[in-house]
Amino acid sequence: MRKALIAGNWKMFKTEEEAVLFTEELARRVADVQDREILICPPSLYIYPVVHALVDSSVMVGVQNIFWEDQGAFTGEISAPMARSTGARFAVIGHSERRQYFAETDDTVNKRLMACLKASLTPIVCVGESLEEREAGRTLDVVGSQLGKGLKGVSAKDAPHLVIAYEPVWAIGTGKTATPQLAQEVHAFIRSVLKGIFGEKPALAIRILYGGSVKPDNIDDLMAQADIDGALVGGASLDAASFERIIRYKG
Ligand code: PEP
């Protein structure tokens, strides 16, 4: 049985004070939640104060990106061991905004993913098609290729430590959510690709999150789908009440 994971991606929002106040409020609101995992990914600058604000909480912390080398002359970057040493447990890898604005490719996704596994940081590997690719009927080709290249070299032994996020680019921050059926179709396809790469058992242990305009009013139907094991939430994770409602999805 895969434990659901509800992850908040704050992107480049909040000051340090806002980050800490929000975290304390969220921890209070979800203190009784035990049957699902909760993760917040603030800007890396705030990992330490946010981890500190969560000492008595089961809410976990992740980073939004890491560089693939452990250390070196890479101005402005942070590495997987550095993120791990601050208390981060997860790293978002290959988010479409990184692919779009920072030249992230499947090859660099793969390097970052390997660095995460080496540092015991759980990678959340984002895949998803653009509107143009969907309209051209290329969704499964695009997602299959992103998975094939992005997961290259990962062993079946490491597979259960992976998290995949299906995030159709046209649904991110647009208010246009994939219908639960459409999301499930791609999630089932992702599961079949994972089975092809890792074999049946490891593939069944991998959590596949849906991301793209997840809100309190659509989370229940999304989470009712067989291969949707959680959500990667952007905008709606910035408000404690709406993120709490998403965490408390019914089902
Ligand atoms: C995201 O940032 O990964 C995301 C899905 O954003 P939003 O929920 O705002 O669409």
Q: What is the mean pLDDT of the chain?
A: 97
Q: Which atom of ligand 1 is nearest to the CA of 165?
A: 3
Domains of the chain by start residue, with CATH: 5-247 (3.20.20.70)
Q: What is the H or E stretch that residue 27 is in?
A: helix 16-29
Measured from the CB, is residue 168 less than 6 Å from ligand 1?
A: no
Side-chain half-sphere CA neighbours of 101 within 13 A: 4
Residues known to be catalytic: 95, 167
Instruction: Report the nearest-CA residue for atom 4 of ligand 1.
Output: 234
Q: pLDDT digits over 30-71, tens only?
A: 999 999 999 999 999 999 999 999 999 999 999 999 999 999
Percent share of the chain, pLDDT over 90: 97
Query: Is 196 in contact with 148 (CB distance < 8 Å)?
Result: no
pLDDT of residue 251: 79
Q: pLDDT digits over 135-184, tens only?
A: 999 999 999 999 999 999 999 999 999 999 999 999 998 888 889 999 99
Q: Which residues contact 161 (CB under 8 A, 6 or more apart)?
A: 117, 122, 123
Measured from the CB, is residue 64 less than 6 Å from ligand 1?
A: no
Predicted confidence band of residue 73 (pLDDT cuts 50, 70, 90): very high
Neighbours of 180 (CB within 10 A): 18
Query: Is 104 in contact with 127 (CB distance < 8 Å)?
Result: no
Instruction: Report the nearest-CA residue for atom 6 of ligand 1.
Output: 234
Q: Which atom of ligand 1 is nearest to the CA of 172?
A: 10
Q: pLDDT digits over 215-245, tens only?
A: 999 999 999 999 999 999 999 999 999 999 9
CA distances from 172 to 40, 155, 229, 233 (A): 17, 30, 18, 9
- Whether pTM > 0.95 for this model: the answer is yes
CA of 41 to the centre of ligand 1 (A): 12
Residue with tokens 């791990």: 84
Q: How far apart are CA 181 and CA 189, in angstroms?
A: 12
Residue 1 pLDDT greater than 80, yes or no: no
Q: How far apart are CA 166 and CA 216, in angstroms?
A: 19
